[in-house]
């Protein structure tokens, strides 16, 4: 298995050549030596989330430690794959022009896609003034398993 910085970004499915719902045991080749003999690192982000940052951190995999599966993948920095015509590094305004389903949610503090679950687009500012968002650059695109939004999913049962 190898990370691809050009792979398409597919909501509720995957990015970087990685697939959501994959068990961590299938990532052994990628994570063995991470931070020692391979660029990257790993960390425990919360009691139930382990995060693997590959290479320069442009691809991150979040694992639910209760079930051992990838529930979230994040593309940032130098990731070149796209969600349709939308990519990391373009302005929010340009992204909305390319895909009119995109909109900024003040409640979620991210860009969502109408009618499409399992994807969010982030900007580099926490709780930005909504009028400033269109001029901001997309700093990351996250795909996630939609099951994590359910009550059972929050318990790791998915």
pLDDT tens-digit map of 20-69: 999 999 999 999 988 898 889 999 999 999 999 998 999 999 999 999 99
Q: What is the pLDDT of residues 55-71, one digit of tens each?
A: 899 999 999 999 999 99
Q: What is the pLDDT of residues 73-112, one digit of tens each?
A: 999 999 999 999 999 999 999 999 999 999 999 999 999 9
Give phi and psi for 115, each to the nearest 5: 80, 0
User: Radius of gyration of the chain from Cα atoms?
Assistant: 15
Nearest Cα residue to 12 out of 148, 103, 119, 135: 119
Q: Residue 41 forms beta bridges with which residues?
A: 53
* Share of residues in the chain with pLDDT > 90 (%): 88
| 113 has a pLDDT exceeding 90 | yes
154 or 118, greater pLDDT: 118
Q: What is the pLDDT of residue 35?
A: 84
Contact (CB, 8 A) for 39 and 82: no
Q: What is the pLDDT of residue 63?
A: 98
The pTM of this model reads 0.95
| 6 has a pLDDT exceeding 90 | yes
* CB hemisphere CA count around 110 (13 angstroms): 14
Helix, strand, or coil (residue 18):
strand
Averaged pLDDT score across all residues of the chain: 95
Q: What is the pLDDT of residue 91?
A: 98
Helix, strand, or coil (residue 93):
helix
């Amino acid at each position: 298995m190898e990370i691809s910085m050009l792979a398409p970004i597919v909501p509720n499915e995957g990015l970087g050549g990685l697939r959501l719902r994959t068990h961590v045991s299938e990532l052994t080749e990628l994570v063995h030596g991470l931070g020692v003999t391979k660029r990257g690192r790993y960390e425990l982000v919360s009691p139930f989330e382990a995060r693997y940052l590959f290479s320069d951190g442009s691809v991150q995999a979040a694992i639910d430690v209760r079930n051992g599966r990838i529930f979230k993948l994040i593309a940032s920095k130098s990731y070149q794959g796209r969600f349709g015509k939308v990519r990391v590094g373009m302005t929010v305004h340009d992204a909305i022009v390319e895909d009119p389903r995109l909109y900024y949610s003040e409640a979620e503090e991210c860009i969502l896609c109408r009618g499409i679950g399992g994807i969010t687009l982030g900007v580099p500012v926490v709780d930005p003034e909504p009028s400033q968002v269109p001029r901001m650059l997309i700093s990351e695109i996250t795909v996630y398993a939609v099951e994590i939004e359910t009550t059972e999913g929050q318990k790791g049962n998915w």
